[in-house]
Copies of this chain bind each other. A is one copy, B any other.
Amino acid sequence: MSNNKSVAPGYSTATYRLFEDKADFAKKAEGIAVGLTVGSWTELPEVAKQKMEKYLGQVVSIEAHEPEGAAPGERYADITIAYPDLNFSKDLPALLVTTFGKLSMDGRIKLLDLNPSSDFLSAFSGPKFGMQGVREKLGITDRPLLMSIFKSVIGYDLPNLREQFLQQALGGVDLIKDDEILFENPLTPLEKRVETCVDAAREAEKVTGQKLIYFTNLTGPTSKLRENARRAIDAGANGLLFNVLSYGYDAMAELVADPSINVPIAAHPAMAGAFYPSPHHGIAAPLLLGKLIRIAGADLSLFPSPYGSVVMPKEENLAVQAALLDPSLPLKAAFPVPSAGIHPGLVPLIMRDFGEAVVVNAGGGVHGHAHGAAAGGRAFRQAIDAVKAGIGLADYATDHEELRLAIERWGVREA
Contacts and interface: CB of A to CB of B under 8 A. Distances in A.
Contact of A282 (B52, B179, B274, B304): B274
Interface in A98-144: 98, 100-109, 111
A277 B281 contact: yes
A280 interface: yes
Interface in A274-291: 274-275, 277-278, 280-283
A340 to B, nearest CB: 8
A247 B226 CA distance: 16
A385 B242 CA distance: 52
Interface string A28-57: 000000001111100000000001101100
Contacts of A52: 155
A183 B88 contact: yes
B246 A89 contact: no
A179 B87 CA distance: 12
A247 B246 contact: no
Contacts of A97: 180-181, 243, 246, 270-271
Contacts of A100: 271, 273-274
Interface in A1-50: 36-40
Interface residues of A, number: 74
Of A51, A100, A275, chain B has the most CB atoms within 10 Å of the CB of A275
Contact of A243 (B37, B101, B219): B101
Contact of A89 (B184, B226, B270, B278): B184
Contacts of A254: 221-223
B96 A271 contact: yes
A54 to B, nearest CB: 8
Interface stretch (A146-154, A200-208, A318-326, A327-335): A146-154
Contacts of A250: 221-222, 246-247
State the oligomeric state as a number of copies.
2
A17 to B, nearest CB: 13
Given A39-B151, A40-B151, A40-B152, A105 B243 contact: no
B51 A155 contact: yes
B219 A89 contact: yes
A95 to B, nearest CB: 9
B93 A247 contact: yes
B246 A93 contact: yes
A269 interface: yes
A3 to B, nearest CB: 23
B153 A273 contact: no
A272 interface: yes
Contacts of A55: 154-155
A220 interface: yes
Interface string A231-258: 0000000000001001110110010000
Nearest to A44: B152
A19 B33 CA distance: 37
A260 interface: no
Contact of A105 (B153, B185, B273): B273
A101 B277 contact: no
Given A154-B38, A222-B251, A181 B274 contact: no
16 contacts: A38-B152, A87-B154, A87-B185, A93-B247, A97-B271, A100-B271, A101-B243, A101-B271, A105-B277, A105-B304, A105-B310, A106-B310, A223-B254, A246-B248, A246-B250, A247-B251
Interface of A: 36-40, 51-52, 54-55, 86-89, 91-94, 96-98, 100-109, 111, 151-155, 179-181, 183-185, 219-223, 226, 243, 246-248, 250-251, 254, 268-275, 277-278, 280-283, 304, 309-312
Q: Which 4 A-B pairs give the minimum distances between C-beta atoms? A: A101-B270, A104-B273, A39-B152, A105-B273
